[in-house]
Amino acid sequence: MERMVSESESIQNHFNGEETMRPNILLFGDSITQESFRSGGWGASLADAYSRKADVVLRGYGGYNTRWALFLLHHLFPLGLTKPPVATTIFFGANDAALAGGTSERQHVPVEEYKENLRKIVRHLKECSPTMLIVLITPPPIDEEGRMEYARETYGEKAMTLPERTNETTGVYAKGCVELARELGVRSINLWSKMQETDGWQKKYLRDGLHLTAEGNAVVFEEVVKVFKEAWLDASEMPYDFPHHSEIDGKNPEKAFQQKCL
């Protein structure tokens, strides 16, 4: 409970007169994050939900695994940053879980290393800002037949004949992600389990057996907002960065801006 209060205080400090800039919410992940600002994407929906209250910053890197993500930490989250994000989502695992010996073996990271890499990322973020809200998101489930169909449609005769990812293996990584979040005392979203609660999730949430449909993006958005609200980062309770137009007197506009700008 003490940590939740400190997160709330950190957010409010952005509006206490000492700092008038909007807080940043940073999305860090692989292609599922990179694509999240597309039409209907979960990142775009998040930016809309926090419009005029927080800036949602996209840092998604298609094809990346946690091993490669470590090389970016000091560039994206330099120590001593004067304005670290108030919240960061960490959304990796879909590529780490690629099968060793498969066509995507180059991206494979053993599950224990995956967990250790996530641990390093979380520790670095905590060093950047002890009050930062950190949310680990598991990889989504895998529709193996959907992946094979996509490969045949895309590559024809050159398509893979064996799956390069399996839902069972990805589930092991999802479990490891959730366990690590619990160990480190940070929040998590078990997307792998959540999506499979819905009948027909394979085609409803995944467009190619891995990447998200509009409905799949909606699930991520809803789960992220839910966690943010539980952690006191509720958009409905955050003030606008500058006055709402209804608060501005047409004959005396400067009055509305005195507290924020003058």
What pTM was estimated for this model as a whole?
A: 0.89
Sheet holding 133-137, edge to edge: 55-60, 24-29, 87-91, 133-137, 187-189
> Choosing from 31, 36, 129, 188, which is the catalytic residue?
31
CA-based nearest residue to 84, from 93, 92, 73: 73
Q: Along the 262 residues of the chain, how does pLDDT read in single tens digits?
A: 334 444 555 444 544 444 557 999 999 999 999 999 999 999 999 999 999 999 999 999 999 999 999 999 999 999 988 999 999 999 999 999 999 988 889 999 999 999 999 999 999 999 999 999 999 999 999 999 898 887 677 666 665 666 789 999 999 999 999 999 999 999 999 999 999 999 999 999 999 999 999 999 999 999 999 999 999 899 999 999 888 899 898 999 988 888 665 4
CA 39, CA 186: separation in Å to the nearest integer?
Answer: 30
Supply the range of the domain harboring residue 180.
Answer: 2-261
Identify any residues that bridge with 60 across adjacent strands, giving them in sequence order: 29
CATH of the domain at 174: 3.40.50.1110
Q: Quick one: angle between helices 111-128 and 167-184, nearest 10?
A: 40
Q: Is 31 a catalytic residue?
A: yes
CA 33, CA 27: separation in Å to the nearest integer?
Answer: 7
Number of structural domains the chain divides into: 1
Q: Which residues, 6+ apart, have CB-to-CB distance to 107 below 8 Å?
A: 63, 65, 95, 96, 98
DSSP string, 121-138: HHHHHHHH-TT-EEEEEP
